[in-house]
Structure 1
Amino acid sequence: WNRQNGLGKAFDSSTGFKLPNGATRSPDVSWIKIERWNALTPEQRKRFLPLCPDFVIELVSESDDLADTQAKMREYIANGLRLGWLINPKNKQVEIYRQNQEIEVLESPTSLSGED
């Protein structure tokens, strides 16, 4: 999808972000609008990216604490995240985080939409 439309830049968990609150985070999957990527200097692109992603996916693994991961998702939202998916394979739930909205919980969804 992202390669076809070229609207943004996708990253895996090896990419770190320095959030506006100073926290450093490396989501499992992240995406930023191409305009935001293009606004970064070559030096900024080589380090922890000094921004909050527009979209993240966090996958709850067996070793993760659900409450800690939920807190991380709330932190992303507080720092400008537009959309986040917290995927919990153990209980087959997806929590959807959006700016200025309540968290939506989906039970055993068969598909997800990136919305706008």
Structure 2
Amino acid sequence: MNLSHAVKQEAYLNPMLLHWPPSLQGEEELFFEFCQVNRELRIERTAQGDCEIMAPTGGETGSRNLSLAAQLYNWAELESNGIAFDSSTGYILPNKAIRSPDASWVKKSRLAVLTPQQKQRFLPLCPDFVIELRSPSDSLKTLQAKMQEYIENGASLGWLIDPETRHVFVYQPDMPPVILDNPTALLPDRVLMGFKLDLQKIWDVPF
């Protein structure tokens, strides 16, 4: 078994944690290039500078991720005040963590101040809105901590969706998380006016 295959198998069961050398922490360009040459893996960086490596998702999670991104994209195209992003987009948060939520949205006014080079790399900001979708191999506790991190770094709204239990955890600044039991839809009126996420398309995988 080669190293790449071993990493993929281990990462599928549990994200692999690699320690990024202290001398290289803060080298955003180097970390970006590291991620580009390992595109088959999803790589994030913690605020402490460690790398978390995850393998590609399974079929059911992949289908759900696409539905999330498609619904958000279709609304954003009509709404026109912000841009929707998929799970391959990296963000450099104010605490220096680099995260890639499963779906996200950023106001155009915040993107307009970025340079062309910044737009081509990990975006140096926290999204206004994030969605994380729990896969069978994900730790709920880890995802909850990640959602709290988004809020603490400037996100206005976050949804953690758990298809296994059909629970949705809603995160907002200065409020404890709210747990919704088996909702059929989500309507974030305050942050994304007019957006509706059809959760039946998330709960019921079409294969």
Indicate whether the TM-score tops 0.5. Answer: yes
Q: Which residue of 1 aligns with 2:36?
A: none
Q: Which residue of 2 aligns with 1:75?
A: 149
Counterparts in 2 of 1:85-104, with a 5 A limit?
Answer: 85-104=159-178
Q: Which structure is richer in relative contact order (CA contacts within 8 A, separation 6 or more)? A: 1
After superposition, the CA RMSD in angstroms is 0.6
Percent identity of the aligned residues?
54
Determine which structure has the larger helix proportion and give its number: 2
Q: Distance in 2 between matches of 1:9 and 1:20?
A: 20
Is 1:3 paired with 2:77? yes
Q: Which residue of 2 aligns with 1:62?
A: 136
Q: Distance in 2 between matches of 1:12 and 1:84?
A: 15
Q: 2:110 aligns with which of 6, 13, 36?
A: 36
Q: Which residue of 1 aligns with 2:44?
A: none
5+ residue gaps, structure 2, are 1-74, 191-207
Structure 1 position 115, deviation (Å): 1.9
Larger CA Rg, structure 1 vs 2: 2
Displaced runs of 4 or more, over 4 A: none
Q: Which residue of 2 aligns with 1:109?
A: 183
Determine which structure has the larger strand proportion and give its number: 1
The amino acid of 1:100's aligned partner reads D
Q: Distance in 1 between matches of 2:93 and 2:189?
A: 23
Aligned residues: 116
5+ residue gaps, structure 1, are none
